[in-house]
A and B are shown apart, each in its own frame.
Chain A
Amino acid sequence: MAESATALAIMGMALVTYLTRVGGLFLAGRLPTGRRWRAALTAMPGVILVSLVAPLVLGAGVAEAMGAMVVLALARRVALPVVVVAGIVVVAVGRAWLTG
């Protein structure tokens, strides 16, 4: 039956997605605690965030790179919504301009 395949697909997606989310949280306490492990785990939040963002701004195109530079320049000077809107405007204008 068609609908049951869709329901099973959604349940499968939900199950594995939740396992990836809950797994790290509960397994972290069982990881080794050596000096190198501590250094790696301490660095983890920053390097994950860098890895999320770097391909989106560095490998993406000129407009994205310009937007990223504007955001970086403003980041610690003005409020977050202002920074984000400035970045979006730069990227939108950049894309419109670059694609003619």
Chain B
Amino acid sequence: MLVAVAPFGLALGALGSSRGLTATEMAAMSATVFAGAAQFAVIDGWSGADSAVVLTATVTALVVNLRHLMMGVALASAVRTWSPVRRAALAFLMVDETWALAVVEGSRGVLRFAWFMGAAIPFYLTWVGSGTVGAVVATSLGDPARLGLDFTFPAVFIVLLATMWNRTDHGRPWLVAAVASVVAAHLLPGTWYVGCGALAGALCAAFGAPADAEAG
């Protein structure tokens, strides 16, 4: 995953540089925001440093990252015995990739604080480092998609799903989530499709319970 995240950090840094952001500003953004999709969305629409950009950037980051609310709820039971400080630290480092690893580890038994930090901190450092280097180098780095590197995360997510797949009651909610997210991705901008798909799948799980459970 570290090898895969670096090209995107580089590409983001180069994009930021082309929009007039300095390497220091890119480093500060990657280190404090740490959210790939939101940073790409904001920087792509970066209009220069004026007062309008403050509101635009903040609202874009909020909209793109709203899916984290549901991800936090889904992960909460795995960390309910952690101290508030540790949970707050986990939240800072919770991106799609580290969340996916944590939720699978939690479903296997206990999610340990040290285990999560061991997985998340190298990921964080790679993201900040590659984003900064990209802004410094900023030459034609090429498109990571040409090499298929953008497929790394879908591939890891598919493997994680395959390892989670052990109960027959996954079928319908997962199918509903897949259909809803694909449809939403075509109709809505940004990452709304994650929230739409997850909500549809969760509703299916809540109201599509087997008839015997309904009776009991």
Contact = CB atoms under 8 A, between A and B. Distances in A.
Partners in one complex: yes
A28 interface: yes
B22 to A, nearest CB: 9
Given A13-B57, A20-B62, A95-B146, A53 B92 contact: no
B25 A6 contact: yes
B170 A16 contact: no
Contacts of B57: 9-10, 12-13
B38 A13 contact: yes
Interface in A1-38: 2-3, 5-18, 20-29, 31, 35-37
B159 A20 contact: no
A25 B81 CA distance: 12
Contacts of A39: 205-206, 209
A62 interface: no
Nearest to B103: A45
A90 B147 CA distance: 10
B201 A31 contact: no
B131 to A, nearest CB: 12
B158 A75 contact: yes
B132 to A, nearest CB: 14
Contact of B66 (A18, A20, A36): A20
A31 B156 CA distance: 31
A44 to B, nearest CB: 4
Nearest to A1: B49
A54 to B, nearest CB: 4
Residue among A5, A51, A55 with max Cβ neighbours from chain B (10 Å):
A51
Interface of B: 4, 21, 25, 28-29, 32-35, 38-39, 42, 48-51, 53-58, 60-62, 65-77, 79-80, 84, 87-88, 90-92, 94, 96, 100, 103-104, 107, 145-149, 151-164, 170, 173-174, 176-182, 184-186, 193-198, 200-207, 209, 213
Interface of A: 2-3, 5-18, 20-29, 31, 35-37, 39-59, 63-64, 67-68, 71-72, 75-76, 80, 83-84, 87-93, 95
Given A3-B49, A22-B92, A51-B197, 19 more contacts: A5-B51, A6-B25, A13-B61, A24-B74, A25-B90, A26-B87, A36-B209, A39-B205, A43-B204, A44-B202, A46-B177, A46-B201, A50-B178, A51-B178, A55-B181, A57-B158, A68-B154, A68-B155, A92-B146
